[in-house]
Structure 1
Amino acid sequence: MSGLRAWSARQYWPAFFYLLPAAVFYTLFVLRPLGQTAWVSLFTWDGITEGRWVGADNYSALLDDGRIPSAIAHSLVFVVFYAVFPVALGLFLAALMSRIRVRGLSFFRAVLFLPQILATVVVAVSWRWIYDIDGPLNAGLRAVGLGSLARAWLGDYDTALPAVGIVGTWVMYGLCMVLFLAGVQKIPTELYESARLDGCGPIREFFTVTLPALRGEIAIALVLTITYALRNFDLVWNTTAGGPGTSTTVPSVFVYQGAFLTHEVGSAAAISVCLTAVVLVVTGVIMRLVRGKEG
């Protein structure tokens, strides 16, 4: 038995050598910076002069910071726009495109995926123009007699957060659609034929065949989209910079402001560590739920 284990171990050694370059890269550029950030979070430091050890004071200060709860609430709103809506829309489009056969369908798939490959700055600047008081959105509303609804969408306290959220939905749904289309192509056609023989219509066929078969793809989509929603910075910063006031501020905005504007690097590092922990917990919960259902 011990000889069998030794033989098995020898068989796997080449695999470890193949993984070694990726492991070194991951350690140097992910784990090491993460450890340094956690260490910096234990100091009061302006990024230039020598830091002063404060232990967990930066973390306890976050509990007393009245801005943090509203920032977390904004992130949860973004989870709806960046994860729930794109997943639902991606499922609808994937189910629709898997059933219809029209010329040029690949072109339409590429167009729908286009927002995902555009630079975030380009997306933000484009949507700022669309949402502008004299932009296409308000011009369209005035053209159909709804000029009373026209406003500076990103400058209004009531509409700024959902306006940025809609941009996130537009960016993320293409990724979900492509993941689900790839998953649909792996589903055996015999399952669909059996469902149709049993009298299932398109809607029932989707819920009894397509949706259960896409459980793994849905989990991946949720992990990617929720992670993006929680760490979202560039889209918010380049559209509203957290404004008006603090109506679109999220934790990552405080990280940027603390590190580069107010020079409170220790506090910014503490927020980063907490945000990383939240993302890891959410990811772990989603994967555990999926594995539990598969088991």
Structure 2
Amino acid sequence: MTVSSATRATVVATPRGRRRRSSFTAYSWSSLLYVAPALLFFGVFVIYPICISVQTSFYEYDGLTVATPVGAANYVAVFTDPALREALLHSLVLLFFYAVLPVVIGLGLAGLLSRIRIYGLTFFRAVLFIPQVLSSVVVAVAWRGILASDGPLNSVMQAVGLGSFATSWLGDFDTALPAVGGIGTWVQYGLCMVLFLGGIVGIDRSLYEAARLDGAGAIREFRAITLPALRPQISIALILCITFALRNFDIIWNTTRGGPGTSTAVPSVYIYQDAFQNRALGQASAMAVVLTLLILVIVGIVQFALRERSDVPRAARRSGGVR
């Protein structure tokens, strides 16, 4: 009795396939051992607290007595409280200062520093990045002194004849929110600049040489070559800056504590007050869940808007700047 070639191939291939799959599975399980400590840490200190927060958001709980189920009452209060709606509006305003302005300034500085050749350029790059590595508390305390009514900023303005514009920047209802936003811009632009400089390094220099041969100037080169190639870096910078803006607490708390009045109050301030001052952990947890979902939605929109598209020049793709 003869066996067909297809049957022989199946008989021969099956043990090899089984050995390959079994060895691959064993390799995968052994690889997990290397990341198990990180996964354990992430699960205990990130996933588990998130689950507890979601559970607590459906209860009225002060942290001491027995929790009382209230259903979705905490979430209803979050969406119907005028103070919280105002705080969300403040967060959206801060997005301009914490995300849009740093990206624009970072793009300008990256484009400038990538073109000029001067002695000590690395030192200047490090100086511009310093705000990003400083503690937020240190930054807040320093700027609180700079922006005080008798601080250096007002002294300089009076010295140059602009004393009529001097004010208590963090104590005025009209200037407090932009002043806090300016601090965030100062902190975040260094991160954006470094990300964009790293992306510019990966762009093929021959693209710029070809553009110059065609008569393109610096602005045209930036728009036609640099910006399309920096799409991934811009996306990452916006995601990091937006997350920082919406969850920002320490800068605002250490400069204005949400004041004057509620002119600089953001959701994170109310979360802190409800959780640690008013002992309303259920309400605080509901606000934290809503804030987390808001961050995920906005980040998802940004990621979708800046995803890699077919209109990116093929030359920029080959350069390695776009992946």
- How do residues 98-177 of structure 1 correspond to structure 2 at under 5 angstroms? 98-177=114-193
Distance in 1, Cα, partners of 2:297 & 2:46: 17
Corresponding residue of 2:288: 272
Distance in 2, Cα, partners of 1:227 & 1:204: 32
- How do residues 216-295 of structure 1 correspond to structure 2 at under 5 angstroms? 216-293=232-309
1:14 to 1:212, Cα distance in 2 relative to 1, 3 A? farther
Alignment partner of 1:93 out of 109, 117, 132: 109
Look up the equivalent residue of 1:129 and give its one-letter code.
G
Number of aligned residues: 295
Unaligned 5+ segments in structure 2 are 1-12, 312-323
Q: CA RMSD in A?
A: 1.7
Corresponding residue of 1:61: 77
**Larger-Rg structure:** 2
Distance in 1, Cα, partners of 2:149 & 2:44: 47
Corresponding residue of 1:197: 213
Corresponding residue of 2:10: none
Question: Which stretch of structure 1 is more off in the superposition, 276-285 or 170-179?
Answer: 276-285
- Aligned partner of residue 275 in structure 1, secondary structure: helix
The Cα shift of 1:289 comes to 3.0
Asked if 1:34 corresponds to 2:47, the answer is: no
| CA deviation vs aligned residue, 1:7-58 (integer Å, no higher than 9, x gap) | 6555544443333222222111111000001111111111111111111110
- Aligned partner of residue 282 in structure 1, secondary structure: helix
Distance in 2, Cα, partners of 1:123 & 1:209: 36
Is 2:231–2:308's contact at 8 Å kept on the other side of the alignment? Answer: no
| CA deviation vs aligned residue, 1:202-243 (integer Å, no higher than 9, x gap) | 000001111111110100000000000000110000000000
TM-score of the two chains, using structure 2 as the length reference:
0.88
The Cα shift of 1:246 comes to 0.3
Corresponding residue of 1:181: 197
Percent identity at matched positions?
Answer: 55
Look up the equivalent residue of 2:120 and give its one-letter code.
G
